[in-house]
């Protein structure tokens, strides 16, 4: 039986993680750091198989200030690192690929400059480039989820699938980061229409919702990106493994 891949998200802003892991009450109120590299090592120690890194500075200001941190993360863990945020041109793509990431997740550039994106996609291929679909009320939003495009997510997903995109990261923006529950319909629709692999991002609150997604694996949804719920220790197994590990240090 295949199991759903759970991908921890590390969101970076001003060189630090946007969220820190809250401590287990039985172990005291310790918080696990604002250092993105430390955070990557923690998730790797907790058996993550893939990390999703979001560069908030890049998305907001087209900055490369966090690229050295991305490189250090890639060099510090032995698992693949997936990156998203602020990639606008071919130079950006070259620089971020040089850090050692395994996959680049793109949205804005594919919408605003399709021909340039297509050129990059032809160079790097579907294993290295995935498409993010950030959705508000069935409409795609770009540039750090601040700009509405007027483009329906299904239309764009079809267009991307036609050129060979094999993975979509699907986010219901209104549920992301607020523990609003996953939007299964968006992800299932994209998977069914494109026949591509889909990563559901955002909204997951507990193990029952993970099982809801697990039940959709035959539809092509093979992974989930989780941020806040992991950082807030909302899964029983987290308590078990952290209590077990507390005597190690």
SS3 state of residue 81: strand
> 57, 92, 134, 172: which one is catalytic?
134
Take residue 74 and report the two structure tokens written for it. Answer: 């890639």
Give yes or no: 134 in active site.
Answer: yes
- Reference 103, options 122, 121, 80, 74; nearest CA is 80
Strand partners, 139: 136, 152
Neighbours of 128 (CB within 10 A): 15
- Asked if 182 and 214 touch (Cβ cutoff 8 Å), the reply is no
Instruction: List Cβ neighbours of 29 (8 Å cut-off, separation of 6 or more).
Output: 23
Take residue 53 and report the two structure tokens written for it. Answer: 């890194």
Strand partners, 226: 8
Sequence-ordered alpha helix ranges (H) in the chain: 36-45, 56-61, 67-76, 90-98, 108-112, 114-124, 153-162, 184-194, 207-214, 228-231, 236-245
- Reference 102, options 168, 40, 63, 50; nearest CA is 50
> 11, 55, 92, 222: which one is catalytic?
11
- Reference 59, options 14, 23, 26, 25; nearest CA is 14
Active site residues: 11, 134
């Amino acid at each position: 039986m295949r199991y759903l891949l759970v991908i921890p998200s590390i969101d970076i802003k001003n060189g630090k993680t946007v969220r820190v892991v809250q401590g287990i009450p039985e172990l005291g109120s310790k918080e696990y750091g604002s250092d993105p590299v430390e955070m990557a090592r923690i998730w790797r120690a907790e058996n993550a198989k893939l990390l999703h890194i979001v560069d908030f500075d890049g998305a907001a200001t087209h900055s490369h200030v966090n690229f050295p941190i991305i490189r250090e993360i890639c060099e510090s863990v032995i698992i693949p690192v997936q990156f998203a945020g602020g990639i606008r041109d071919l130079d950006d793509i070259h620089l971020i690929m040089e850090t050692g990431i395994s996959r680049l997740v793109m949205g804005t550039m594919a919408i605003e400059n399709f021909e340039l994106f297509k050129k990059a996609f032809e160079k790097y291929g579907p294993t290295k480039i995935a498409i993010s679909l950030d959705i508000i009320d069935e409409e795609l939003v770009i540039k750090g989820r601040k700009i509405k495009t007027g483009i329906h997510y299904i239309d764009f997903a079809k267009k991307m699938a036609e050129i060979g995109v094999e993975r979509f990261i699907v986010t219901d923006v209104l549920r992301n980061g607020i523990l609003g529950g996953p939007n299964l319909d968006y992800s299932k629709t994209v998977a069914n229409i494109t026949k591509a692999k889909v990563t559901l991002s955002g909204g997951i609150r507990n193990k029952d919702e993970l099982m809801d997604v697990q039940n959709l694996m035959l539809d092509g949804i093979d992974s989930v990106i989780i941020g806040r719920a992991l950082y807030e220790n909302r899964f029983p197994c987290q308590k078990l493994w952290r209590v077990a590990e507390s005597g190690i240090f």
